[in-house]
């Protein structure tokens, strides 16, 4: 019906190329236009002015001989003022943009090591955008944004990088664990030393208390029982302790068998040996 009435419609965000007898005449903006086909007028085609996106995956090699796939995202659109150039000068816009992206990436990335490639993603995107803007502006296109969205090394390389990272973290963890164990051992040794010191102090005080008690007992017994000497009192105390010790050994359920000579003469010998040892220790 539109052709019969010589009217054509151009949609929003789209322009149409009007030709007369095969020659470009004008760019038709969105709306309804008269197109007298019988006078050789026709619509050669339509051009979208919407923002478009092209994702490109480019394989290249870094300076340290690692193959990577660089994924670039190009956002572009045709300029309304140069719509005729965008329509007539390029037959395949996407292929043209892809060729420029490949050229820039494969010239830039081989100058960088793998780690630098990850760190300089923005610089790579900027270089691609500058080259595309300079080239595509002549064809009526505007490069809105260029992004390097991903850098994918070979699977073996990624596995090796992960292993290196894991090994480094394990070394740090092992070092921290060793430091913690060292601190624990030092603190444990300090605690044991302090415990032994306090135990020794306790034993020394216990022995001092026993000696003081024996001395007071001997003095008190000698005073209250006339005619007894300190030697007699000491013998009595030692005999009493001897029998107490024998009682404790017999009362213990898990005591090992102890064979010692026992009898009046044996007790006297034991007392003499203990007294001689105490006297010898006091002289030393």
Same domain, 122 and 142: yes
* Residues 83, 147 share a domain: yes
Examine residue 199 and state whether it is found in any structural domain, yes or no. Answer: no
Tokens of 50: 């919407």
- Residue 170 falls inside a structural domain: no
Report pTM. 0.54
- In this structure, are 89 and 138 located in the same domain? yes
Q: Is residue 14 part of a domain?
A: yes
Same domain membership, residue 75 and residue 36: no
Q: Are residues 113 and 67 in the same domain?
A: yes
For residue 151, the SS3 value is strand
Residue ending a domain, choose from 153, 181, 209? 153
Residue 165 makes CB contacts below 8 A (sequence gap 6+) with none
| Domain that residue 270 falls in | 229-283
Q: State which of 100, 135, 153 marks the end of a domain.
A: 153
Q: Are residues 65 and 146 in the same domain?
A: yes
Is there a contact between 10 and 31 (Cβ–Cβ < 8 Å)?
yes
Structural domain includes residue 66: yes
Q: Tell me what pLDDT residue 265 has.
A: 56
Pair (33, 100) in one structural domain:
no
Res. 231: pLDDT tops 80: no
In a domain, 248, yes or no: yes
**124 and 69 assigned to the same domain:** yes
pLDDT tens per residue, range 240-256: 766 667 677 667 656 56
Please indicate, yes or no, whether residues 24 and 73 belong to a single structural domain of this protein: no
> Can you tell me which residue has the tokens 């190329």?
17
More confident residue, 132 or 225: 132
CATH number at residue 61: 3.30.479.30
- In this structure, is residue 210 part of a structural domain? no
Each residue of 52-89: pLDDT tens digit?
Answer: 999 999 999 888 888 889 999 999 999 988 898 889 88
How much is the pLDDT for 229?
65
User: Please, what's the b/e burial string for 201-234 (b: 16 or more CB within 10 A of its CB; e: otherwise)?
Assistant: eeeeeeeeeeeeebeeebeebbeeeeeeeeeebb
- In terms of domains, do 100 and 26 share one? no
Tell me: do 84 and 43 sit in the same domain: no
Spatial contact of 68 and 62, defined as CB atoms under 8 Å apart: yes
- Mention every residue, 6+ apart, whose C-beta is less than 8 A from residue 266: 260
Count of domains forming the chain: 3
In a domain, 92, yes or no: yes
Residue 215 falls inside a structural domain: no
Last residue of a domain, one of 108, 132, 153: 153
- CA neighbor of 50 nearest in space, from 35, 25, 30: 30
| Lowest-confidence region among 82-96, 103-117, 200-214, 267-281 | 267-281
Are residues 71 and 24 part of one domain? no
């Amino acid at each position: 019906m539109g052709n019969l009435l010589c009217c054509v419609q151009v949609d929003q965000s789209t322009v149409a190329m009007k030709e007369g007898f095969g020659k470009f005449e004008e760019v038709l903006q969105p709306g309804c236009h008269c197109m007298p086909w019988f006078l050789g007028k026709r619509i050669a085609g339509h051009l979208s002015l919407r923002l478009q996106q092209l994702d490109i995956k480019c394989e290249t090699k870094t300076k340290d001989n690692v193959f990577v796939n660089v994924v670039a995202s190009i956002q572009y659109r045709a300029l309304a003022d140069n719509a005729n150039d965008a329509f007539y000068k390029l037959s395949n816009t996407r292929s043209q943009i892809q060729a420029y992206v490949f050229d820039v990436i494969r010239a830039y990335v081989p100058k960088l090591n793998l780690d630098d490639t990850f760190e300089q993603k923005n610089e790579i995107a900027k270089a691609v955008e500058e080259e595309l803007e300079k080239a595509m502006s002549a064809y009526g296109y505007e490069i809105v944004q260029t992004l390097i969205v991903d850098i994918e090394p070979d699977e073996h390389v990624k596995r090796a990088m992960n292993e290196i990272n894991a090994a480094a973290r394990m070394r740090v963890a092992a070092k921290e664990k060793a430091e913690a164990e060292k601190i624990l051992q030092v603190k444990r040794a300090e605690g044991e030393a302090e415990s032994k010191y306090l135990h020794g102090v306790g034993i020394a005080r216990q022995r001092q208390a026993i000696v003081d008690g024996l001395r007071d007992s001997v003095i008190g017994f000698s005073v209250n029982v006339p005619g007894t000497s300190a030697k007699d009192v000491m013998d009595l105390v030692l005999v009493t302790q001897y029998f107490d010790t024998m009682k404790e050994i017999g009362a213990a359920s898990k005591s090992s068998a102890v064979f010692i000579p026992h009898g009046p003469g044996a007790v006297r010998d034991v007392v003499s040996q203990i007294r001689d040892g105490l006297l010898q220790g006091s002289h030393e």
